[in-house]
Amino acid sequence: MIQAPRLLQCLRNPTFARLYTAQTINLVGDALTWLGLALLAFELAGENAGLILSGALTLRVAAYVVLSPLAGAIADRVDRKRIMVITHLARMVIVCLLPFVTQIWHIYAIVLALNLFSAFFTPTYTATIPLIATQEEYPTAIALSSATYQLLGVLGPGLAGSIAAFVGIRQVFFLDGITFLIAAILVITLPGQLMVAQQPQEVRTVRRTLQDIRLGTTCLLSDPPIRYALAMQLVAAIAGAAILVNTVGYVQGNLQLGKLEYGWVMAAFGIGATLASIGLGTFNPRQKQTVLTGLGAALITLALLPASWVSLGGLLLLWIVAGVGQTLVNVPTQTLIADRVDVDIQGRVYGAHFAWSHLWWVFAYPIAGWMASHLPSSVFLGSSLIGTVIWVIVNLVFHPGQQSDWKSGLWHDHNHTHDQHHQHHHSRHLAMTVIHRHLHFHTIAQLEPC
C-alpha cells in the first residue's frame, strides 16, 4: 500500500480533516472577497482604486491588532466550534451586502465589519489545531494549514478572476457567501465541543477578560524562544511589506513589464512559501524552531538586497527565496507556541501573537511606502538594510546561540499554592499558603508525575 506523504498524514485524524476542509473552503472565499473588492474598487474609483484598497488593508490590520487578543481570551472560555460557526455565518451575510455597494464608504464599512469577525476566527482556528490533533500531528497540521494558505494565495486570485469573468463582478460575492455557509456547516458537524477545561467557579467579568488578554501577551514576551521568534517576525514584516507594496512598481515601472509578469513574480513568492511549508511538514524539525526563524528572517532580508537591480528572471528567483524565508519565520513560531504553552491558555496566546505579528505590519507598511517615495531607485535595498540592522540587534540581545540553556516545559495558568512545583516571587501582601492563580512556567522535570 502506498503511504501518504508525511504532510498529509495528519488528515487521517477525521476531526482535523473536517476542520481543515472548512478552512480551505474559507480561504477560497477570502480569495473571492479580495479579488472582488479590487474589481469593485476599480469600478467605483478607476485609477484611485489602489488608494481605496490600501485604506481597506489598513482597516483590516487595525481590526486584527485590536480584537485578536480579545478573541484569544474568549476562545479559551467558550466552545470554539460556536465561535467559528458564528464568524462564518456573519461573514456570509456581510459579503452578500457587497453586490449592493454604490459608494466608496460602503466598501470601508463592509471591510471593517468583515474583518472584525475574521479577527475572531483566525486565532481561534489556529488555537484549535493543537486541541484536536495529537502531539505528533499538530506540527504537521500547522504546516499543512500554512501550505494551503500560501498555495491558495497563489492560485486563489486566478480562480476567483475566472469565476468573476464568468458570473460577473457583483455576483461573485454571492458565491463567496456560499463558501462561508459550507464552511460553517462543516464546523457544525465536528463531534462534541471544542472547549478547553476551565475551573467551574470562574465567572466571566470585564476584569477577568482584561487579565486574559494581558496573560497572552505576558506569555509571548516572557518565554525566550517565543519572544525571539516574535522579534524575527518583525524582520520578516519589514521585508514582506516591501515586497507586497513595491513589487508592482518595480515590475511595471523599472522593468517596463505588464500585469502578467507582475503576477508571475508574486506567484514565485507564494510558491517559495508553499514549498517551505511542505518541507516543514515533511521533515518536522521539532528541535530547531528558533534556528529556523532566524534563518528565515535572514533569507527574506538578504533576498531584498540586490532586488533593485535585477531582471525579471533574477527577481523570480529572489522572490522564491523570500517566500521560503517568510514561511520559515511564521510556521515555526506557531509550532513553538503549541510546544511551550499549555492547551488551556493557547487561545489567549495565539490571539496575542496574532495581534502582535500584525502590529509589526502596521509599522512595516509605512516604511515600505516611505522607501518608495524617497528612495525609488533602491527601495528594496533600503528595506533590506533596515531588516538587517534589526536582525543583528535581536540576535545580540536575545543570544539565540545559547538556546541550549533555555528551559523546556510549558506555561500554565491554574489555581495553586506554593510547593516544590510552584516556586516564584509575589508581592508581600500575598501569603505563600494562599490559593491563587497567575501565569507561571513548569519545567519538564516539574511536569513529570511524582
pLDDT score of 449? 44
pLDDT score of 250? 85
d(CA 105, CA 96): 16
- pLDDT by residue for the chain (450 residues), tens digit each? 455 566 677 888 888 899 999 988 888 888 778 767 767 776 777 656 656 766 777 777 778 777 777 776 676 677 888 888 999 999 999 999 988 888 888 888 888 898 888 888 887 887 788 778 777 777 778 777 777 776 676 566 556 666 777 777 788 888 889 999 999 999 998 886 665 555 444 444 446 556 666 777 777 788 888 889 999 999 999 998 888 778 877 887 888 887 678 778 877 887 888 888 788 777 665 557 888 999 999 999 999 999 999 999 999 999 999 999 998 998 888 778 777 777 667 667 777 777 788 788 878 878 887 887 788 788 899 999 999 999 999 999 887 655 555 555 554 455 545 555 555 554 444 444 444 455 555 554 444 443
Q: State the DSSP H helix or E strand holding residue 419, giving kind and residue range, or none if neither.
A: none
Contact between residue 267 and residue 154 where contact means Cβ atoms under 8 Å apart: yes
Place of cell 504553552: 341
Grid cell digits, residue 62: 487595525
Grid cell digits, residue 327: 514561511
d(CA 335, CA 323): 19
Grid cell digits, residue 407: 528551559
pLDDT score of 125? 84
- What's the Cα-to-Cα distance from 391 to each of 278, 363, 367, rounded to whole Å? 25, 16, 16
pLDDT score of 300? 95
pTM over 0.95: no
Q: 364-388 b/e with 16+ CB inside 10 Å = b? A: bbebbbebbeeeeeebbbbbbebbb
Residue ranges and CATH numbers for the domains of the chain are 1-192 (1.20.1250.20), 208-406 (1.20.1250.20), 409-423+431-447 (no CATH)
Name residues whose C-beta falls within 8 Å of residue 286's C-beta, 6 or more positions apart in sequence: 139, 335, 339
Q: By CB neighbour count within 10 A (0-12 exposed, 13-18 middle, 19+ buried), where does 248 fall?
A: middle
